[in-house]
Structure 1
Amino acid sequence: MRRLLLTSGRGPAECRIAVAHALTRLASEAEAAECDCAIARSDAERHGPASAIAVLDGPGAGALAQRWTQGSLLWVCRSPLRPHHGRKNWFVGVVDLPLPAQIPALATGDVRFESFRAGGPGGQHQNKTESAVRAVHLPSGLAAIARDGRSQHRNKALALARLAALLDGQARLAEAGEARLMQAAHDRVERGAAGLRFEGPAFRSAG
């Protein structure tokens, strides 16, 4: 399991738009990489969240996390908000949030489990299993899905662990001071070489 922080730092609204695009792209890549992805966003303003936490788990989680944390994420696009603005480079920080040795358990009364029919990650066994499980944290509304286990019982345990990692990440950000951590990540991003680069309104990969 891997846990990532995506942040716009002190960037303008365009960087929040880039975060929103990046989350959609990350979820899509996770789907194709045999990996389940759970996301918790900060309070979103009109143009997108300032930050988000993504928990990746499954066979492809390690490789996907490495791809997304190899450097800064750069979106090259004319501003959709200020058409005559000269700047076209918008940065998003993507950093690893290490998992603790032990994640606090969730109160069972705070979690609702929902089983549903779903193919495996990457489209495997599509419409042939009903053992997929969604764990919903009732106080926050956050949810995590597991569909890679061989049984519904196993998927309940996986979904619960992913949900706990998501909530623990939010708590640790709050303790460390989210604004300070976001800014440190963003400063490193703008000084470093871009690892992932996307271009245009459609957020197409550019290498």
Structure 2
Amino acid sequence: MGKPLINTKIIQITSGRGPAECCWVVAQILKRFLEAASNKGIEYKILHREKGIENRTLQSVSIQLKSENLSRFLSQWTGTIQWIGTSTFRPQNKRKNWFIGLYEIRKCEQFQILERDITYQATRSSGPGGQHVNKVSSAIRATHLPTKTQVLVMDSRSQHQNKKIARARLQEKVVELQLEALQSGIKDQWKNHLTLQRGNPVQVFKGSDFKKNRIVKHYKKQRCALKNELREQLNN
């Protein structure tokens, strides 16, 4: 038997354009989501955080996940998430229902840079006042050709070590650039999605202790609609 297929996906938890309360919910959901992922043996890496206005709040966070059967796990989280509770920032606010979204970012392979797309150029390390640290060309300038992103590394006297560091830093910069490019589009998609999906959350939490609320599915409206459609067909 072959090795199990490891999937890689990137998800974003976002408050959309919601107020500070929604940003607080994002921070709370992040804790619950990572805890659930760890319990399932899913590897995760936080790629980007966008802080909210208030302390301990997040407007959005992007996470890379690696594991088998990610689709099954994410099916329980992807969509609208609801919190039922009193605002911690505006206790007098009568609103009790707050909504955020958790989405999968498609084509996450874009976030992996390829070695063939990188050029390395050795150069002499320079110290204060333009003095050369050594006469050997140990510093490395790495360029990611598709995005024209560059980094210059002179941390070590070893050219090989600087090359490894340069590649890692280049990866981080490219991921950051790609995430920034996705932000505006995701926010617009989230605004439209929120309008349609507020009445159908995939997860519901309540209270200041953020307890999970059991979702009870009701099919009364669907049954009534089917009965009315059947009557119309019989009458015709």
Shorter-chain TM-score range: 0.5 to 0.7
Whole-angstrom CA distance in 1 between matches of 2:59 and 2:206: 20
Residue in 2 that maps onto 1:76: 84
C-alpha spacing 1:169/1:6, structure 2 compared with 1 (3 Å) = farther
Identity score, percent? 24
1:67 aligned counterpart, secondary structure: coil
User: 1:111-170 CA deviation, whole Å, 9 max, x = no partner?
Assistant: xxxxxxxxxxxxxxxxxxxxxxxxxxxx9xxxxxxxxxxxxxxxxxxxx8xxx6x87654
Q: TM-score, structure 2 length as denominator?
A: 0.56
Residue in 2 that maps onto 1:49: 58
**RMSD value, Cα:** 2.8
Contact 2:21 / 2:88 at 8 angstroms: preserved in 1?
yes
Whole-angstrom CA distance in 2 between matches of 1:33 and 1:97: 21
Residue in 1 that maps onto 2:213: 206
1:93 aligned counterpart, secondary structure: strand
Pick one of 77, 88, 103 that aligns with 2:96.
Answer: 88
Structure possessing the higher relative contact order (Cα contacts under 8 Å, 6 or more residues apart): 1
Contact 2:15 / 2:60 at 8 angstroms: preserved in 1?
yes
Whole-angstrom CA distance in 2 between matches of 1:23 and 1:181: 18
C-alpha spacing 1:32/1:168, structure 2 compared with 1 (3 Å) = farther
User: 1:4-63 CA deviation, whole Å, 9 max, x = no partner?
Assistant: 111111100000000000100111001111112222311443241111101111235332
Residue in 2 that maps onto 1:27: 34
Whole-angstrom CA distance in 1 between matches of 2:173 and 2:33: 19
Residue in 2 that maps onto 1:152: none
C-alpha spacing 1:169/1:190, structure 2 compared with 1 (3 Å) = farther
Contact 1:4 / 1:65 at 8 angstroms: preserved in 2?
no
Whole-angstrom CA distance in 2 between matches of 1:27 and 1:101: 22
Q: TM-score, structure 1 length as denominator?
A: 0.64
Whole-angstrom CA distance in 1 between matches of 2:173 and 2:190: 20
Structure 1, unmatched stretches of 5+, are: 108-138, 140-159
Residue in 2 that maps onto 1:184: 189
Pick one of 3, 8, 22 that aligns with 2:15.
Answer: 8
Larger Rg: 2
1:42 aligned counterpart, secondary structure: strand
C-alpha spacing 1:45/1:29, structure 2 compared with 1 (3 Å) = same
Specify the code of the residue in structure 1 equivalent to 2:94: G
Moved over 3 A (4+): 166-170
Cα drift, residue 184 of structure 1: 2.3
Contact 1:76 / 1:198 at 8 angstroms: preserved in 2?
yes
Specify the code of the residue in structure 2 equivalent to 1:175: A
Whole-angstrom CA distance in 1 between matches of 2:204 and 2:195: 13
Contact 1:33 / 1:60 at 8 angstroms: preserved in 2?
no
Residue in 2 that maps onto 1:156: none
